Homo-oligomer: A and B are copies of this chain.
Amino acid sequence: MRMFRTLLTAAAVSALLVGGAQAQTAPRAKSGLKALFAGKPAAPAAPAAVPVSPEAVAVGLRDKALRDHLAWDITEDLTTNIGPRLVGSPAMEKAKDWGVAQFKALGFTNIKVDEFAKVSWTRGEESAWLMAPYAMNLNPVGLGRTVSTPPEGVEAEVALFRTYAEMIAAPEGALKGKIVVITQPMVRAQDGAGYGVAGISRRAGPVEAAKRGAVALLIRSISTSDSSVPHTGSTANGEGVVTIPAAAIGVPEAEQLERLSAKGPLRIKLKLQSSFDPKDVAWNISGDIQGSEKPDEIIVIGGHLDSWDVGTGALDDATGIAITTAAAKLIGDLPRHPKRTIRVVMWGSEESGGSSDAYLAANKDGLSKIVLAGESDTGADRIYSLQVPAGSLDHPVIKTATRVLMPLKIYLDRAPAAGGGADISGIEGAGVPVINLNQDASRYFDYHHTADDTLNKVDPVQLAQNVAAWASFLYLVADSDIDFRALKPATPAAR
């Protein structure tokens, strides 16, 4: 908090703005704006009746957000006082109560907790050793929802593949009795595109290795770092039933195994213990900033409250919760709410799966009233581009938004928004228009799903830029009549 105040000096704010942001505020609106953002009623002499344009309000929200510390405070509170919060853990139950308390304290209304059934998984003891050519301790982390090894572990010769494709090329039964090691690296990319490519080893690797006869799978962390800290994450999300134990090892260990395997055979011993609770539950929680004119038209935004059990889930996704909550709260503090309702959802089981389906099921009768949805779930580094629903590029609201966001160094990507987030994929699939406020993921996958996803990886200046973008964009859409469904072209938009 102290750090935040220090960092967000006027110079930092200036750096975040390309310049000239204030110039976009109509001069005649200045007094009204001052009143709006002074945090107190306008003095009697102020021309309170001067109309303030939505753009001017959005600019004011944006600039206020750059100096606001609520998102930092939320992130610090959730990661410090709740800590890691895996679905099924006591911490996750505490997080649910924390979320409700946050909404209340910040003035949200219509607060709801929707419970849904969710089989939970709890990590136990984990260890691994290189046994040959020499003994060396390895540091594995079981993939989320992996099965256990026998209590004494599993020891076997290694079949090492430098790419997933090479493992897949092995015929069924060819890897009988082996521990398969896949060392495919992940490519660093601003848009995070390397994650999907490398992640196949984690998602489908255990099922595919088992088909070929393997007794266990070790993968190189799905990570862009050079760190020894391994990355977890769910395996086999709908891509088959996992029957063999699977874990990740850090980047240097994977590279060590690569080098050693080029010289001769390797043996590894792996022990993984964990348990499932088939009768567990999770919760999606929401709170509203109620619209002033069309409260039944709803913009759904949010992040996910659950995290992995390693680290404290700071970038994934305490900051997503913090960014969207803080943005909505800034809007809620306006003397007049925008026309439409802004609903912040804290989804409760993104990492373990299930929030999206549960949210769709709970809202299936009201989908037509959700005018737009968006999710913040790629850390807290700066947003660099906006994508909007197909057909809306040239709408005046989007043109205004583009102007307001440019000083934050955010451009309008002309490709239509798609894949708005894991937790809104259900409602997106059912026709709800989505936006993408794309965060720079260059650094995100250095920490994601590891013990290093902690508060000290959050940059408060970039965090504030996120809040500024969400608050100003949301306000413009919420205070407008834009109907994204009506704008949708009959055929897919050309890029």
Quickly give the copy total for this chain: 2
Q: Does A287 sit within 8 A of B, measured CB to CB?
A: no
Segment from A23-31, A79-87, A190-198 that makes contact with B = A79-87
* Residue numbers in B under 8 Å from A450 (CB-CB): 228
Contact, CB under 8 Å: A452 / B136: no
Q: Does A390 sit within 8 A of B, measured CB to CB?
A: no
Contact, CB under 8 Å: A260 / B80: yes
Contact, CB under 8 Å: A227 / B226: no
Contact, CB under 8 Å: B454 / A256: yes
Contact, CB under 8 Å: B255 / A455: yes
Query: How many Å lie between the Cα of A451 and that of B225 in the bound state?
Result: 14
Interface residue count on the A side (C-beta < 8 Å): 38
Min CB–CB distance A438 → chain B (angstroms): 25
Min CB–CB distance A406 → chain B (angstroms): 32
Min CB–CB distance A153 → chain B (angstroms): 15
Q: Does A99 sit within 8 A of B, measured CB to CB?
A: no
Q: Does A263 sit within 8 A of B, measured CB to CB?
A: yes
Contact, CB under 8 Å: A455 / B136: no
Contact, CB under 8 Å: A226 / B456: yes
Contact, CB under 8 Å: B456 / A252: yes
Contact, CB under 8 Å: A454 / B312: no
* Residue numbers in B under 8 Å from A134 (CB-CB): 82-83, 90-91, 94
Query: How many Å lie between the Cα of A228 and that of B453 in the bound state?
Result: 9
Min CB–CB distance A80 → chain B (angstroms): 5
Query: How many Å lie between the Cα of A448 and that of B154 in the bound state?
Result: 32
When C-beta atoms are compared, the residue in chain B nearest to A130 turns out to be B83
Contact, CB under 8 Å: B139 / A256: no
Contact, CB under 8 Å: B83 / A136: yes
List A residues 69-106 near B (Cβ within 8 Å).
76, 79-84, 90-91, 94
Q: Does A338 sit within 8 A of B, measured CB to CB?
A: no
Min CB–CB distance A268 → chain B (angstroms): 14
Contact, CB under 8 Å: A457 / B80: no
A452 interface neighbour in B83, B227, B457, Cβ under 8 Å: B227
A311 interface neighbour in B79, B228, B255, B259, Cβ under 8 Å: B228
When C-beta atoms are compared, the residue in chain B nearest to A79 turns out to be B256
List, sorted by A's number, 8 A–B pairs whose CB atoms are closer than 8 Å.
A81-B260, A82-B134, A226-B457, A228-B450, A228-B451, A251-B456, A252-B454, A256-B455
The chain A residues found within 8 Å of chain B, CB to CB, are: 76, 79-84, 90-91, 94, 133-137, 139, 226-229, 250-252, 255-256, 259-260, 263, 309, 311-312, 450-452, 454-457
The 7 closest A-B pairs by CB, nearest first: A252-B454, A228-B451, A80-B259, A228-B452, A226-B456, A83-B136, A252-B456
